[in-house]
Amino acid sequence: MKMGILRQLQCFLLMGTMFIVVAIIIYWDDVTKRTFYIPSAMSPLPVFPIQVLETPLDLKSSSDQSRWSVKPNQTTLTTAQKYILKDQGSNNQIFGQSSPTDLKVRQAYRTDIVKELCLANSSLNFPGKFKSFEKIPSHALDHLIVDDRHGVIYCFVPKVACTNWKRIMIVLSQNLKAPDGTPYRDPLAIPSYMSHNATLHLTFNRFWRRFGRASRRLMHHKLKTYTKFIFVRDPFVRLISAFRNKFDQPNEDFYRQFGTVMLQRYANISKPPGSAQEALAAGIRPSFQNFVKYLLDSRTEMKEPFNEHWRQVYRLCHPCQIEYDFIGKLETLDEDAEHLLRILGMDEQIRFPPGYRNRTAAKWERDWFANVSLADRTKLYNLYEPDFRLFGYDKPETLYQK
């Protein structure tokens, strides 16, 4: 009798095990089919899997993901295609105001590009790509502004609306008081020159003096828990903007430090005027072609690194060592600024200042590069290629047509 009961238990146990194994096999087969991909129909941009983000930008619903899908041979523009075009600076009015879902999709796309190209086996390589965060010297972290009150880290890039974003960081941190003795609450009320006062911003390069040996540990903690953002711009348009601002109009500091060198080396002027005003009166100033030659000259960085106004973004903000939660672009500044302030919960308190009317436009590129040789244009692209590709900007093919 006992033997019969034992055999029945063994039989039930065997059947139960077989049932569980079959169920696992069926489930696994079903799961492996549920991978979402951005189809390659959007060439030449790379193909990435859409991942679930554990940030305020999380694309959680399946409806959000389906809107990002692009079917092969599709003739009408999908939401994804529209926003790829808008990233390149197309006319936003064609597509109207973006929905919250569209803005999330835009951010998922931008951050995925950086993650993919920062992988060891990606097609993009550049100096410092594989360097760990611990190996980055403190002086190279001077563009990372920290606001502990709101848990925000901003890497500022000169010539990419950084004056206004620095103003906002001052408002958030309450580190500057208005004439009435209260902290500034309106970014535009802060004088532009004050926004660049380094003493008003807590940056990572100042951590060592404040926290000593605990500084790197604190940096890691803040990078893990704070919202990190950056704003970028078409690399060549940024160079044109920097040249216009620093050399196309009198700027004594930049003329003496950089302009005289360009005139001596590339304009055959052995004794340039002593000041920017004297040079302007004499009709002498560096050309954009001289500026490009200066950037390509191997002697330029033997003395010191590129000035921050034309230093590559990957060298300023280290996107392969720091995983940014939000990547804004000057080409979509108004929407991106509003989106970010909403994420930070500050959209009711702070309004991003309106854009500058004399902003350098991408359509000017061909005119500015007219006197730059094809060989130098190619070398310049190679110098800034990491910025083009990491942040989803197409190579300006029109500049390479003879």
**Are residue 140 and residue 228 in the same domain, yes or no?**
yes
In a domain, 2, yes or no: no
Q: What number of other Cβ atoms are within 10 A of residue 244's Cβ?
A: 16
Q: Residue 399's pLDDT is what?
A: 85
**Are residue 328 and residue 282 in the same domain, yes or no?**
no
Q: What are phi and psi of 216, to 5 degrees?
A: -65, -40
In a domain, 189, yes or no: yes
Burial of 309 (C-beta count, 10 Å sphere; 0-12/13-18/19+): middle
In a domain, 206, yes or no: yes
Q: Residue 41's pLDDT is what?
A: 34
pLDDT digit of tens for each residue in the chain (402 aa)? 545 565 666 666 666 666 665 554 444 444 333 333 333 333 333 333 333 333 444 433 333 333 333 333 333 445 555 455 456 544 344 446 789 899 999 999 999 999 999 999 999 999 999 999 999 999 999 999 999 999 999 999 999 999 999 999 999 999 898 899 999 999 999 999 999 999 999 999 999 999 999 999 999 999 999 999 999 999 999 999 999 999 998 999 999 999 999 999 999 999 999 999 999 999 999 999 999 999 999 999 998 999 999 999 999 999 999 999 999 999 999 999 999 999 999 998 899 988 665 567 767 888 999 999 999 999 999 999 999 999 999 999 888 876
The domain tally of the chain equals: 3
Contact partners, residue 61, CB within 8 Å, separation at least 6: none
**Are residue 59 and residue 100 in the same domain, yes or no?**
yes
**Are residue 229 and residue 210 in the same domain, yes or no?**
yes
**Are residue 107 and residue 191 in the same domain, yes or no?**
no
Domain extent for 51: 40-117
Q: Residue 60's pLDDT is what?
A: 34
Global model pTM greater than 0.85 = no
**Are residue 140 and residue 282 in the same domain, yes or no?**
no
Among 303, 323, 349, residue at a domain's last position: 303
**Are residue 200 and residue 253 in the same domain, yes or no?**
no
In a domain, 362, yes or no: no
In a domain, 381, yes or no: no
**Are residue 351 and residue 246 in the same domain, yes or no?**
no
d(CA 115, CA 373): 34
Q: Residue 401's pLDDT is what?
A: 74
Among 303, 323, 348, residue at a domain's last position: 303
Structure tokens belonging to residue 370: 């007219």
Q: Residue 7's pLDDT is what?
A: 66
Residue 33 per-residue DSSP state: T
**Are residue 85 and residue 226 in the same domain, yes or no?**
no
Residue 155 per-residue DSSP state: E
In a domain, 371, yes or no: no
In a domain, 401, yes or no: no
C-alpha distances (whole Å) from 62 to each of 29, 71, 72, 112, 319 are 20, 16, 20, 18, 29
Q: Residue 50's pLDDT is what?
A: 31
**Are residue 76 and residue 49 in the same domain, yes or no?**
yes
The beta-strand segments (E) located in 202-256 are 202-203, 227-232
In a domain, 380, yes or no: no
Among 288, 303, 318, residue at a domain's last position: 303
Amino acid at 49: P
**Are residue 190 and residue 256 in the same domain, yes or no?**
no
**Are residue 207 and residue 227 in the same domain, yes or no?**
yes
